[in-house]
Amino acid sequence: MSEEDVENRKSRPELIDAVTGALYEFVLLTLPVALYVALESFVKEDWSYFISSPEWAIATIFLAVQAVTLYFKNLSRIGRTNGRAFGGLVLLTLLIVVVSSINALESLRAHGVGSSAALWVRLALFLLSVVMFFALVGSGRYTFLKKKRE
């Protein structure tokens, strides 16, 4: 690692802490689901099930709910709350939770994976939740750490 890289790390500790904190929370939320789905895939001897399992809808719900919770927790700790933003994010989270729940239910009724459309919807919702999670948790933590440092 060059001296310039070391200096950049020293000058931006909040960014590194925010990213690692978000990554830590992400692993805590998704690892149990990933382990369960991996075990189920192993027992079924079908590793394609790891990607297509309806249980990923549960991880989507965990991520969406925790993203908003952690974001506003960090912002409220420094007195920065916005009712409109909170309401909008809660509505988006509610929409993700409802659609993910319906998607998981329909896939389970189809005895497992469900249709390819259900799989694509589940994947899109999961990716949306991942992006939303890192954006909200990372920015909330970064804002908190930056304000705390001042």
Compute the distance between CA of residue 52 and CA of residue 108 in angstroms, rounded to an integer: 12
What pLDDT digit, counting tens, does each position of 33-47 carry?
999 999 999 999 998
Q: pTM score, two decimals?
A: 0.84
| Segment 115-142, tens digit of pLDDT | 788 889 999 999 999 999 999 999 999 9
On whether the CB atoms of residues 58 and 37 are closer than 8 A, the answer is no
Q: What secondary structure does DSSP assign to 83-148, as a single string?
A: HHHHHHHHHHHHHHHHHHHHHHHHHHHTTSS--HHHHHHHHHHHHHHHHHHHHHHHHHHHHHHHHH
